[in-house]
Structure 1
Amino acid sequence: MRPVPPLPTADLPVVVIAGRPNVGKSTLFNRLVGRRQALVADTPGVTRDRKEGVALIRGRYVRLIDTAGLEEAAPDSLFGRMRASSESALHEADLILFCIDARSGITPADEHFAQWIRRQNRPVLLLANKAEGRQGTASALEAYALGLGEPVALSAEHGEGVTDLMWEIAERLPPEHASEDSAENAPDTDGDEEDTRPAGPLRVAIVGRPNAGKSTLLNTLLGEERMITGPEPGLTRDSIAVTLRDEDGEFEIVDTAGLRKKARIDETLEKMSVSASIEALKMAEVAVLVLDATLGVHEQDLQIARLIEREGRACVLALNKWDAVEDRTATRKAILDRLSISLAQMRGVPVVTFSALTGSAVHKLLPAVREAAEVWNARVPTGELNRWFESMLERHQPPLVNGKRLKLRYITQVKSRPPTFVIFGTRAEQLPEDYKRYLVNGLRDTFDLPGVPIRLQTRGTKNPYAES
């Protein structure tokens, strides 16, 4: 696995991969960051939003940005918006990797954008990708005609020439600033990774159905047009992570592709997008479930909520387009009633209402996310927990199973993230589900654990006189 960078990504030099569609930019991005982070397919134009990662280049970390393909298009069209996003990334680059397809040769689009890049007054390294074998290397020489210097011939897919490319990148990076003691800056990896809040930003995944306003929400939080948005559903294909800081700390927020019903997912590319969304949810600490408040709760919204619960993540319900709702009281009640009936584990989930398009009340979201993360990380002292447990047993005795009453002895919390409890007792493993729900509801109400999954496990004690 790629090592953790010793410095915040904002302090790292920026290297941007640019070029027309389908020249292998995302494949090269994955190769340099050391893992399959960007979606790759034979279909041109898979990448729509900028994707960032951290790459270790000859002992030095860089912030690597994969961009959408550069294409001539009207500014208000989808491809025009994609190009504007790519150009915005190029303006902050310390080094541009301009990539062409050596097998296809130099195209008019390559020539046009090479001229445009020359005018940006940024360091540029010309890459001739897909230059496998002798023929590919010979074809790469045609790239001299672009006037961007000597091309680096490589094959990102097969790894050929990547070592030479890393040397070339390292030589062109800006001088490295002296940093303070790296041991102080390095993250602490001691302790139980599963049960301790890790160092670094709070990881958040924005999930929901297509066209619910997830990308618009992220743009509003960032205060810039970072994600491609528009009326077309399904614009976001890959899971895009960005870092955001407020007065209380950092967030790593991932915008994911919209999740549709399985029956409607038939294209390979869309299946890859869904897989990336689910993977982002698994890596998150808090999931922000975005709903279109004008449409209410759809069955697919409930399926996504069940997925969040199954993965054990904290959840914040984000009701977008709230400014377009006429009867807000009735709408909120209908949504929460539907969730409470269909998803008992989501009872008490925090709800934030806003308009991502206008920015109204969006500022309430991040504090709600942080509060949900605190509940998700909650720990209940063992003594307090068992005093509660005794009172619950007195109020409603454990049921009879096969004519014998279960003897539940004590309870302990074994982990947080999400809160997980284990009950010990004679034949505790036979505890009925309805009694478990009674205890879970009591845990949630007594110890203020709203809106997070609560795991309740049982451990029976062996009877030494039972037949083996």
Structure 2
Amino acid sequence: MAKRQRPDRDTPPGSLPVVAIVGRPNVGKSTLFNRLVGKKLALVDDQPGVTRDRREGDAELLGLKFRIVDTAGFEEDDAQTLPGRMRAQTEMAVQGASVALFMIDARAGITPLDEHIARWLRAGNTPVVLLANKAEGRAADPGIMEAFSLGFDEPVAFSAEHGQGLADLFQAIRPHVEADEPDLPIEGDQDDVGDEDELDDSAPLKLAIVGRPNAGKSTLINRILGEERLITGPEAGITRDSIAVDWTWHAPNGVARAVRLIDTAGMRKRAKVQEKLEKLSVADALHAVDFAEVVVLMLDATLGLEAQDLRIADKVLSEGRALVIALNKWDVAENGSSLYQGVRKALEDGLAQVRGVPLLTVSGATGKGIDDLLQAAFDTRRRWSQRVPTSLLNRWFDEALEANPPPAPGGKRIKMRYITQARSRPPTFVVFGSRLDEVPESYSRYLVNGIRKALDFSGVPIRLNLRSARNPFDKKK
């Protein structure tokens, strides 16, 4: 079979070769994706059509490193339908790949849709490796033999679930991956990775977008990227997996800033989430929040603020993540000024534990406010990551105690001796003294609000721990 001409791809220097997995629904593409990345990143379920957006991850197979792309099941529906829009994402993934893994179900045999996909792949320029999945046992032998009719080289017998056939898969994709391997930096040229508490301003901003279904999260990310990277439409709940996309923001001042955008599934009230797949999607979204630095809570300006929005915000803050709130669809909102003030007031009442959370107006449809949103996210990460010198912190602490001394329950005064910042991301402070277990919650809030106002921690969650000196003569304690 003649060697295919490689497609022209705009591949950034130093980036890994791309391997795209393609096939009809429910043949095991996401199971293979998870095996190659070594983590359960993609949602897997028995029902077909779980994957919708294309999902990427860094993979390694027997020392061979590449970027793997999981795609939606290929279907023949009209381009305007949801399956049609999913197919368009698959087509873009294959066009930009070094090699495509065409996966079939060896136990089910070749279907008319498999034949349709094969014709489409043969018409393109991307090299193809035929992968006969679920090939464990003799029941798959007829399907493997039938796969020769698709017009590709010998199919690779494989089991994504059990990991059988990894060596054969390695040999099949190795020529294509090695041909596109980047020039790696000389060992020792890489900068040392700093402490995770220290902010490297050049490090990518891990920015997760969360909110209720149909708030416009995917539309906003597509507008930011300038391409239809994520599937959008009027249907609620299109996004299921949390999709991460690396991107460079060129700020208005000309500075290029790296961003890792994470789109998540919409979060409804827990009582309304009944289906197993939606539960998995929400769990995946919460997992994305855990690994983000800044979380943008997207509100629908045409619906205003609802109780579910406050529950999502509270979840983000309780995880210690920095929060920015965006009022989306601002281009079609009515009575903008009163709406903005009403949402601001409701946020102050509902998120009293964190004052000063940024509230911005944006439009995913027109692009309005995107630069302001990204700048607010970077500013919030800086405050979330900063450390205060101990001397400055204790000068403020002494002044705060003098202005409002701790209470004296039972006539015995609580003694607070000094304060230190234990960590950042989120900012965590420890106060040392005696009888601190009797400090009322109102006084702790006084200290936290003082830290936030005086030391530039506006809008980020602050944790305050009180530690009493241990009495060496109290053996019971």
2 CA distance for matches of 1:440 and 1:121? 60
For 1:71, which of 75, 79, 84 is the aligned residue?
75
- Does structure 1 conserve the Cα–Cα contact (< 8 Å) formed by 2:420 and 2:431? yes
Q: Which moved more, 1:403-412 or 1:194-203?
A: 194-203
1:3 is matched with: none
2 CA distance for matches of 1:8 and 1:259? 34
Counterpart code for 2:111: T
2:49 aligns to what SS in structure 1?
coil
- Does structure 1 conserve the Cα–Cα contact (< 8 Å) formed by 2:14 and 2:183? no
Q: Tell me by how many angstroms 1:293 deviates.
A: 1.4
Counterpart mapping for 1:357-396 below 5 A: 357-396=365-404
Q: Tell me by how many angstroms 1:357 deviates.
A: 1.2
Counterpart mapping for 1:141-180 below 5 A: 141-173=145-177, 174-180=179-185
For 1:428, which of 431, 436, 443 is the aligned residue?
436
- Does structure 1 conserve the Cα–Cα contact (< 8 Å) formed by 2:110 and 2:143? no
- Does structure 2 conserve the Cα–Cα contact (< 8 Å) formed by 1:125 and 1:148? yes
- Runs of 5+ in structure 1 lacking a partner? 1-6
1:186-234 deviation per Cα after TM superposition (whole angstroms, max 9, x unaligned): x634x54355559842211111111100010111111000111011110
For 2:347, which of 339, 343, 356 is the aligned residue?
339
Q: What TM-score do you get using the length of structure 1 for normalisation?
A: 0.95
Counterpart code for 1:211: N
- Does structure 2 conserve the Cα–Cα contact (< 8 Å) formed by 1:345 and 1:451? no
2:344 aligns to what SS in structure 1?
helix
1:216 is matched with: 219
- Does structure 2 conserve the Cα–Cα contact (< 8 Å) formed by 1:195 and 1:415? no
- Does structure 1 conserve the Cα–Cα contact (< 8 Å) formed by 2:210 and 2:295? yes
1:406 is matched with: 414
2 CA distance for matches of 1:176 and 1:274? 36
Q: Which moved more, 1:434-443 or 1:396-405?
A: 396-405
Matched, 1:446 2:469: no
2:126 aligns to what SS in structure 1?
coil
**Structure 1 residues 70 and 467 mapped into 2: Cα distance closer, same or farther (>3 Å)?**
closer
1 CA distance for matches of 2:244 and 2:40? 14
For 1:45, which of 49, 72, 88 is the aligned residue?
49
1:42-81 deviation per Cα after TM superposition (whole angstroms, max 9, x unaligned): 0100000000001113423211101011101111110110
Q: Tell me by how many angstroms 1:389 deviates.
A: 0.9
Q: Tell me by how many angstroms 1:463 deviates.
A: 3.5
For 2:187, which of 182, 190, 206 is the aligned residue?
182
2 CA distance for matches of 1:332 and 1:345? 20
Counterpart code for 2:44: V
- Does structure 1 conserve the Cα–Cα contact (< 8 Å) formed by 2:15 and 2:182? no
- Does structure 1 conserve the Cα–Cα contact (< 8 Å) formed by 2:421 and 2:429? yes
- Does structure 2 conserve the Cα–Cα contact (< 8 Å) formed by 1:57 and 1:169? no
1:217 aligns to what SS in structure 2?
helix
**Structure 1 residues 84 and 346 mapped into 2: Cα distance closer, same or farther (>3 Å)?**
same
1:126 aligns to what SS in structure 2?
strand
Counterpart mapping for 1:240-319 below 5 A: 240-247=243-250, 248-319=256-327
Q: Tell me by how many angstroms 1:429 deviates.
A: 2.5
**Structure 1 residues 340 and 246 mapped into 2: Cα distance closer, same or farther (>3 Å)?**
same
Q: Tell me by how many angstroms 1:466 deviates.
A: 4.8
2 CA distance for matches of 1:205 and 1:108? 40
Q: Tell me by how many angstroms 1:167 deviates.
A: 2.2
Q: What TM-score do you get using the length of structure 2 for normalisation?
A: 0.93
Count of residues in Structure 1 that have an aligned counterpart in Structure 2: 460
Counterpart mapping for 1:120-131 below 5 A: 120-131=124-135
Matched, 1:85 2:58: no
1:19 is matched with: 23
For 1:239, which of 229, 233, 242 is the aligned residue?
242
RMSD of the alignment, in Å?
1.8
1 CA distance for matches of 2:30 and 2:14? 22
Q: Which moved more, 1:93-102 or 1:243-252?
A: 243-252
**Structure 1 residues 318 and 182 mapped into 2: Cα distance closer, same or farther (>3 Å)?**
farther
Counterpart code for 1:252: R
Q: Tell me by how many angstroms 1:345 deviates.
A: 2.9
